[in-house]
Structure 1
Amino acid sequence: LQLHSAADPALVVDAADAWSGAGPAAAALGPRARMDALLALRRAARAWPPLAPLLTAAVPDAMEPADEEIVELLGPASRALAATGMRVHWPRELADRFTTRAVIGPVEEPGAEAEHGPVEEPGAAGSVPAGSGGGGVPSFLSADALLAFNWRFSVGDQELTRAELDRLAEAGRPLVRLRDRWVLIDPAEVLRARERQDRKVTPVDALAAVLTGGADVDGRPVEVVATGALERLRERLADPEGGVREIPQPAGLAATLRDYQLRGLNWLHRMTSLGLGGCLADDMGLGKTITVIALHLHRQDEPATAGPTLVVCPTSLMGNWQREFERFAPGTRVRRFHGTARDLDGLADGDVVLTTYGTMRLDAERLAARPWGLLVADEAQHVKNPYSATARRLRTIGARARVALSGTPVENNLSELWAILDWTTPGLLGGLGAFRRRYAAAVEEGTDPAAAERLGALVRPFLLRRRKADPGIAPELPPKTETDRAVSLTPEQAGLYEAVVRENLLAIGEAEGMARRGLVVKLLTSLKQICNHPAQYLKEERPRIAGRSGKLELLDELLDTILAEGASTLVFTQYVGMARLLEAHLAERGVATQFLHGGTPVAAREAMVARFQAGEVPVFLLSLKAAGTGLNLTRAEHVVHYDRWWNPAVEAQATDRAYRIGQTRPVQVHRIIAEGTVEDRIAALLDRKRELADAVLGGSGDTPAELTELTDAELAELVRLRGDDDRHGNGDGR
């Protein structure tokens, strides 16, 4: 037992000297040294009973612990003593701890070939498809292959042999003699290590482990390194856009790919030729469609990858996909599997079939019966809920390669990213529950700063994301300016707002469970509608529109300026009812508009786009959810978000209808926010969601769950209408 001075932590005195008061160091502890030591020992003995004999010893300076007590000191006893202020120090010569490290590579154990088949190099039968670039990547990526965790065990910097490990395990003691020195080990840890030695893992599990540098084995973290071909594969995947370009632009492509698109094509080729799949997550407008068309053409040149391509997309994008194939891949036979007269007769290699998520869900069995060379899920956020019927049916359709396209792979939470990547590369991220425990919860809650880095290392090879603002991506794009425009509520709006808050908070305070959540959603929706226009909330049949909404007044001012300059604008709202009010109001003012919503037929939708692009209609009203993707509206120089969506990624996609390749004029984005209302506070929520996506990657219209779970007091603070003093920090909302 040693005593430490609180005044001078460097001062250490043996208990025997403290008891006798010998030496100046002992005197420096003060007259209460013995009493303080006994009190500390009493607290420590309650935490760890083997210390109790010291309390009755003449001089409490030493004890001889049994083997099992030393094992306790290696773990739980040490933590319990630390809680009482007692620290455990091991002699320096015993401080080297037993460690384990897993080295993963193809199975090379005796008899492995008989059980799992030989390990082949590229070019041998069963190896990766021809034309994949090889690079020393073996064929163990087949689904039925197994890889071995080859364990390395060390004490300090000395690696143990298998015989030494067996000797340690059989000794069963915490203090053993090894290579002419005493070693302190945990016998239980040694036994666990010996039991792990024959563990096998799937190739995808092995790849995930070497990409992150670690794995969970029996609930414990283990360091993992790769060897041989698996290490070469890790290096090849580590930088999605790096390395030698393996393929050129296909000769049949009637366009010249930009440099970043050619890099994207090579990445897609690399991933699909290895059977891994991937998600191309470039910003909207950077040409994901033409990159996939180039991939389709390239795959037809290779016998191992040739086959028909199936593209599953939202209904609104079918026409765009068909036009793009006809434009950039002339001669490719494209058919729509949609509507009542749909068939797959005569389907041949090189053909392209376009279908919608709805049709795929209804006819997945027929689609799954066909051998597809490539399966593409466009706007893959449509399957972000892995339990939805759409996601489940999509998983039943087999293909040699799977590619997801999404400008918003993370909209609300990281489970959405899991759903997309688990479809492109099944098993990569483990089960959803384990993924949320190991990565998602820590990243979303900010409790583990390193969790985002680990997850990023794992997903980065499988998800290629480029932004318009990245250096060298789209230098010809003009500048984009985004402005939040705050407006005041009219007296009518303010009165309605406060009355609805008062009435609903009372009802919410008396409700529980799902009923309470429903009332919270109803309250938030009502407040957003009041902020838009009283007539929308009141559902008036023949409303008086002008003069009742601060947002509408600002929109009129913006449009007066925009139209005077001869420019065109997009106006997005999440509510069809609000768009109808805007349509009627602008018609009264003599402003030509057109309105696109979810019920607009495909042909009418395409005609509207053509009229707007031709400059025939200067104001295009659009439903955010129906028109936020897949449209090329580069005629617009202004984008107005009349109301805020719960999701920043959805808003960004809508803005990208105008701000995309082909835009030659500066784009101004106007977000209208009702000052002092719930819309003000939602802005902070949207910023947090942007940070979440950025942390990992370097839509939903649903009300965020975190809002429905607020306490009554938190909810009241969220929705309370603030006055000028509150907003400037001078009132009770400070």
Structure 2
Amino acid sequence: MAQRAPRRRGGGPRDRRPTRTTHEEGLLPVLARTVRQVEAAAGRGQVRPSQRTTFQVLALLVREERARLKSDPSVTESERTATMTRLDGVATILAKTAARDTSLLQLLADDAVVPPEARDLKNDMLRSAGREPEPEPEPAAPAPDDAAAPRRVVPTAVMARQLANPFLAPDLSAVQAVRPRTNRLATWELLTPLFRAFEQGGDATCMPLPEPDGVVHGIEGLELMHHQAQLVAAAAAGHRTFLLADEPGLGKTAQSLLAADAADAFPLLVVVPNVVKANWAREAALWTPRRTATVVHGDGDTVDGYADIVIVNYDILDRHVGWLGTHGFRGMVLDEAHFIKNKTSQRSRHVLALAQKVRERTASPLLMALTGTPLINDIEDFRAVWQFLGWIDDSRPRPALMAALEENGLTPADRGFSAAARRSVIDLGIVRRRKVDVAADIPARRVADLPVELDDEASRSVRAAEQHLAKRLLARYDAAAAARSTPVEGVDHELVRRVAAALRRDTGGESSGDNVFSVLRRIGQAKAGLAADYAAQLARNVGKVVFFAKHVDVMDTAEATFARRGIGYSSVRGDQTPAVRAASIKAFLEDPEVSVIVCSLTAAGVGLNLQVASNVVLAELSWTSAEQTQAIDRVHRIGQTEPVTAWRVIATGTLDPRLAELVDEKAGLAARALDGSDEEVGDSTDVQLEALVTLLEDALAAR
């Protein structure tokens, strides 16, 4: 049976008026009256800044009223149910309004900034409802460098451990770090040539690994594959830094846990995406049964301060970075390490600071960066990961890498420097194995494009959105061309790219409204039903199917389609609790009546094993090949016994085919940098930019 029924739209029956409680009297009429005003403005396409503020305040009040009702013991169950139904009606209108103007979605984020005018309006609405307004916030004390000081916590169990071990003396038993014997490269800028050495390609990217002795101590009934045992043997032999970039599905979690066991790198800190915390705890119990693992949730109230393995997600590092830095970790594992590719982000700064703390306290810690997709857009995505591993700092190679480069006897001006430098970095600990090379028993996979034709109404809607965006590009192009002192002959392709880049910057993210994101989202909405129909046919004919989409409304359409067709389904979304998520996955894996699992690309693209299926439907295209590959590899992994097919649904006559080409062109970047491929690929320019260039060039050609 379906694990997640289609959502109800709207409130209760019209002939029943819910009882209004004294606790909320006056608030719901204020919310209902105000939300209709915003809805009407959105219908006219006139959502002004003041109405955007009103939209945000309505969302905040609905959210807070829900929380109050759930926690107020004086509200009866019937009163609570009736009021929740009315709040659902307000929330539904907000959702429909946001669907008309997608730029409103960014106001619903948990971390959205609430400006002073929104707080004032909120207090006015509370007064109108007979409620006490919120007190004025106390002015915050100035923080260093004018930055807001994050809220820091220290779990009680951690304080108990610190009191029991008050000194936690640093481990200084290792030998001194390797120092260069010459100083030939002291004046050279080296990081750019190092990154370029990987961009140019070369031999396959894997450090020399020893042959395992065939014995993995402490584990019964589990057998490592040869490539897994090799990495564990390297850790046992003393190697301590690894960029483990095996293709997804080759067992990186088991390798890192057993490497930590072989290196005696406990306590071990493991930093992971939120969606895979539970999976890491299960894998730790499976592969390192003699070690205890604890998972950090929220403020860490349930943390075991004496655990050997501490698992924490990126999103709450800001709360825990203080005590984690002084906990005495002897090793640190970074799962999905490409999460820190942006060095300026808060998560990256916290990760790099923690790694530095670990190096300061332990002379030779185990540091492992795990990622099946180490390159997302650019070779420089390597920078933060190399810094985490201690191979480089902000501007220079660190001593071990510098010593290896000096040993080569070459400078960046010499022929052969790139190949030698690439090999030097690889030998520091890059490990990259492909399924085709180390797991020949895993069946083949293929990506099959499934062209679909949109119906007339959907096609017109998509085409109108594309034409509107093309007109904006044309207007900017014409204005720029007219401003030149000399007339432009034909199409100026350099100007095309500049205009497209300017519009791309102006309309930034996915929630900013009229841009290439909104066009692609509209395409996804238009083909959602067709993609779900095809998934339903697959489920009836070949068995279980994994359905991936980027947007919630596409997932909603798919689930409604499966419900109408009587096909059991479950769902994995970003807003689920861990318990609901685990139940949904279990139902798909074990219940023969659940034929389809509807997955969010962001929430389910990593950390899941769904190999009970061999067919994947990609209802919406990804912006990167890495995201697409991660989704497919939820099925194509060790243990799969059938060939895997990913059906990529592409709407003909739209931007979809061009986007598919651009993503495929970029797919060769990782192969070139990490697999030694000589394949000719497009450069690493932004896919969104190229999509805008295509729109503008097509519009110019059509004039």
The TM-score range, normalised by the shorter chain, is: 0.5 to 0.7
Q: Give how far 1:454 is off.
A: 5.8
Q: How far apart in 2 are the matches of 1:320 and 1:146?
A: 40
Give how far 1:625 is off. 0.8
1:295 corresponds to: 259
Alignment pair present for 1:404 and 2:366:
no
Cα pair distance change 1:362/1:557, threshold 3 Å? same
Who wins on radius of gyration, i.e. which is larger?
A: 1
CA contact (8 A) 2:474 2:696 kept: no
Residue aligning to 1:639: 616
Change (3 A) 1:561 1:457: same
Matching residue's letter, 1:528: L
For 1:592, which of 568, 576, 580 is the aligned residue?
568
Q: Does 1:367 align with 2:324?
A: yes
What secondary structure sits across from 1:256 in the alignment?
Answer: coil
- Greater shift in the superposed pair: 640-649 or 496-505: 496-505
- When normalised by structure 2's length, the TM-score is 0.60
1:504 aligns to what SS in structure 2? helix
Q: 1:454 to 1:559 in 2, by over 3 A?
A: farther
Q: Once the 2 structures are TM-superposed, how far is the Cα of residue 484 of structure 1 from its aligned partner?
A: 0.9
Counterpart of 1:186 in structure 2 is: none
AA partner of residue 180 (structure 2): L
Secondary structure of residue in 1 paired with 2:271: strand
8 Å contact from structure 1 (residues 241, 264) kept in 2: no
* Counterpart check, 1:460 vs 2:451: no
Partner amino acid, structure 1, of 2:445:
K
- With over 3 angstroms needed to count, the CA separation of the structure-2 counterparts of 1:519 and 1:460, relative to structure 1, is same
CA deviation string 1:176-202 (max 9, x = no partner): xxxxxxxxxxxxxxxxxxxxxxx48xx
Change (3 A) 1:388 1:496: same
2-structure distance, mates of 1:571, 1:564:
15
C-alpha spacing 1:267/1:667, structure 2 compared with 1 (3 Å): same
| Counterpart position of 2:230 | 263
Q: How many residues align?
A: 462
Measured against aligned partners, the alpha-carbon deviations of 1:80-108 in whole angstroms (never above 9, x if no partner) come to xxxxxxxxxxxxxxxxxxxxxxxxxxxxx
Aligned residue identity for 1:356: N
CA distance in 2, matches of 1:256, 1:611: 27
The question of whether the paired residues in 2 share the 8 Å contact of 1:639 and 1:668 is answered with yes
Corresponding residue SS for 1:489: coil
How far did 1:670 drift? 0.6
For residue 367 of structure 1, report the CA deviation from its aligned partner.
Answer: 0.4
- Asked if structure 1 preserves the Cα contact closer than 8 Å seen for 2:295 and 2:312, the reply is yes
Letter of the structure 2 residue corresponding to residue 328 of structure 1: W
Q: How many angstroms does 1:315 deviate by?
A: 1.4
Q: In the TM superposition, what whole-angstrom CA distance separates every residue of 1:149-190 from its partner, at most 9, and x where no partner exists?
A: 1xxxxxxxxxxxxxxxxxxxxxxxxxxxxxxxxxxxxxxxxx
Q: What is the identity, as a one-letter code, of the residue corresponding to 1:682?
A: L
Whether 2:616 is the aligned partner of 1:650: answer: no
Q: Trace 1:479-490 onto structure 2 (pairs within 5 A).
A: 479-490=444-455
Superposition deviation, residue 377 in structure 1: 0.7
Unaligned runs of 5+ in 2: 1-170, 195-203, 359-364, 402-413, 477-498, 676-683
> Which residue of 392, 410, 432 corresponds with 1:427?
392
2:695 paired with 1:662 = no
Aligned pair 1:562/2:539, yes or no?
Answer: yes
Secondary structure (helix, strand or coil) at the match of 1:387 reads coil
Do the aligned partners of 1:241 and 1:263 also contact (CA within 8 Å) in 2?
no
The CA distance in 2 between the partners of 1:655 and 1:524, in whole Å, is 25
Residue 282 of structure 1 pairs with residue 238 of structure 2: no
Q: Which amino acid aligns with 2:249?
A: G
| 1:94-243 matches, cutoff 5 A | 139-140=175-176, 142=177, 146-149=179-182, 199=183, 215=185, 217-218=187-188, 240-243=207-210
Task: Name the amino acid aligned to 2:621.
Answer: R
Shift of 1:128: 8.2
Paired letter, 2:332:
L
Using CA pairs below 8 Å that are at least 6 residues apart, which structure has the higher relative contact order? 2
Aligned to 1:706: 686
1:499 correspondence with 2:499: no
Q: Which position in structure 1 is the counterpart of 2:129?
A: none
Partner Cα separation in structure 2 for residue 492 and residue 450 of structure 1: 59
Matched position secondary structure for 2:289: coil
Post-superposition Cα deviations, 1:536-555, rounded to whole Å, max 9, x if no partner, equal xxxxxxxxxxxxx4x63354
Structure 1 contact 628–654 (Cα < 8 Å) conserved: yes
Q: 1:311-326 residue pairs with structure 2 within 5 A?
A: 311-326=270-285
Contact 1:460 1:697 in 2 (8 A): no
Name which of 571, 577, 584 aligns with 1:608: 584
CA distance in 2, matches of 1:423, 1:238: 19
Query: Against the structure 1 CA distance between its residues 641 and 510, is the aligned structure 2 distance closer, same or farther, given a 3 Å change threshold?
Result: same
What's the CA shift for 1:247? 9.0
Deviation at 1:307, TM superposition (A): 2.8
Amino-acid identity (%): 26
**Of 290, 296, 302, which aligns to 1:331?**
290
> In 1, Cα distance between the equivalents of 2:293 and 2:224?
22
Counterpart Cα distance in 2 of 1:427 and 1:647: 27
User: Contact 1:386/1:392 (CA < 8 Å) preserved in 2?
Assistant: yes
- State whether structure 2 residue 339 is matched by structure 1 residue 382: yes
Q: Which residue of 1 aligns with 2:651?
A: 674
Which runs of 5 or more structure 1 residues have no equivalent in the other structure?
A: 1-125, 130-138, 150-198, 201-214, 225-236, 301-305, 436-447, 535-548, 699-703, 721-731
1:526 partnered with 2:497: no
- Is the CA contact (8 Å cut-off) linking 2:235 and 2:259 kept in structure 1? yes
Shift of 1:341: 4.0
Structure 1 CA distance, aligned partners of 2:691 and 2:635?
40
- 2:660 alignment partner, SS class: helix
CA distance in 1, matches of 2:268, 2:654: 49
Deviations along 1:678-732, whole A, 9 cap, x unmatched? 121122322232211111101xxxxx96355569765423689xxxxxxxxxxx8
How much has 1:451 moved relative to structure 2? Answer: 8.8
Could you say what secondary structure the match of 1:421 adopts? helix
Is the 1:644–1:671 contact (alpha carbons within 8 Å) kept by the matching residues of 2? yes
